[in-house]
């Protein structure tokens, strides 16, 4: 009889909030930077916050304000912003089997960023079915809220903060690779997956090093998928 008490929506939401905290190590410095860059590009604090609240996609927001500041035609700004976000098309279908039907998804899917997707794909299968909706809501709303607040702080006090604690801006983003490593590590038990994952990580890093950071995620994933389908181990290999 005590079973339902353990899965109250509030507890699951708090669990989602707690487990999304490591994401903030990456969100805070980037949102501070975006606020700073947006104000330097001529946007007001609340306009920068509106961009963060409405578009809510890191790389494309930087591209948006950069292209607007450079005087690019608006149709091209919109096209490039959407092109960068095309990778999000794959995220929703991967989570679909883990999340219950709800009329709230059209709004909650707004919070499906790279980081929230990675966390959700790892954690949702480990949660009980009644917990998943509230967990996703807690995790995604925390990330979204911090992103907006970070933008406002960056727009109003970005220069002061980065000047006072320059090391903070370098150390905090390391929470992201550390978090993703803990998510990817369990896949390395299988030779075929290990090779595909290794190929993906390496190619994503190389694409980023050579300045292709905007297309690195889909291209690297495609390289890894190619590797997964082409290379097959004869002995001791397990398939998906």
50, 123, 127, 143 from 13: Cα distances, Å: 25, 13, 12, 13
The DSSP secondary-structure symbol of 90 reads: G
The DSSP secondary-structure symbol of 71 reads: T
In the complex, least distance from residue 84 CB atom to other proteins, rounded to whole angstroms: 9
Residues 45 and 156 sit within 8 Å (Cβ to Cβ)? yes
> Smaller CB distance to other proteins: residue 11 or 47?
47
> Smaller CB distance to other proteins: residue 153 or 217?
217
> Smaller CB distance to other proteins: residue 156 or 208?
208
In the complex, least distance from residue 89 CB atom to other proteins, rounded to whole angstroms: 5
Within 8 A by CB and 6+ apart from 126, the residues are none
Distance from the Cα of residue 107 to its chain's centroid? 17
> Smaller CB distance to other proteins: residue 118 or 157?
118
In the complex, least distance from residue 1 CB atom to other proteins, rounded to whole angstroms: 30
In the complex, least distance from residue 202 CB atom to other proteins, rounded to whole angstroms: 7
Helices 114-123 and 9-40, interaxial angle, to 10°?
160
Within 8 A by CB and 6+ apart from 85, the residues are 57, 60
> Smaller CB distance to other proteins: residue 90 or 128?
90
> Smaller CB distance to other proteins: residue 6 or 92?
92
CA gap 131, 18 in Å, rounded: 14
In the complex, least distance from residue 166 CB atom to other proteins, rounded to whole angstroms: 9
Closest CA to 129 of 1, 10, 5, 12: 12
* Torsion angle in degrees (nearest 10) through CA of 135, 136, 140, 141: -60
Block residue for tokens 């995620």: 217
In the complex, least distance from residue 219 CB atom to other proteins, rounded to whole angstroms: 8
In the complex, least distance from residue 81 CB atom to other proteins, rounded to whole angstroms: 4
> Smaller CB distance to other proteins: residue 24 or 153?
24
Residues 12 and 138 sit within 8 Å (Cβ to Cβ)? yes
């Amino acid at each position: 009889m005590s079973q339902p008490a353990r899965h109250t929506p509030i507890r699951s939401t708090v669990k989602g909030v707690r487990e999304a905290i490591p994401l903030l190590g990456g969100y805070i410095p980037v949102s501070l930077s975006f606020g700073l860059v947006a104000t330097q590009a001529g946007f007001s604090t609340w306009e920068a916050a509106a961009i963060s609240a409405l578009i809510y996609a890191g790389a494309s927001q930087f591209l948006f304000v950069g292209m607007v500041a450079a005087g690019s035609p608006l149709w091209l700004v919109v096209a490039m912003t959407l092109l960068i976000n095309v990778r999000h098309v794959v995220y929703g279908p991967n989570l679909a089997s883990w999340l219950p039907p709800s009329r709230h998804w059209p709004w909650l899917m707004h919070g499906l960023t790279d980081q929230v997707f990675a966390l959700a794909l790892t954690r949702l299968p480990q949660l009980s079915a009644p917990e998943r909706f509230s967990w996703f809501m807690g995790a995604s709303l925390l990330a979204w809220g911090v992103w907006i607040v970070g933008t406002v702080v960056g727009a109003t006090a970005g220069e002061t903060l980065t000047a006072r604690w320059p090391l903070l801006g370098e150390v905090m983003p390391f929470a992201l690779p550390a978090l993703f490593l803990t998510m990817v590590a369990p896949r390395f038990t299988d030779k075929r997956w290990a090779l595909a994952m290794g190929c993906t990580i390496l190619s994503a890093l190389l694409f980023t090093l050579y300045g292709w950071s905007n297309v690195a995620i889909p291209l690297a994933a495609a390289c890894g998928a190619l590797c997964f389908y082409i290379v097959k181990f004869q002995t001791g290999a397990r398939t998906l």
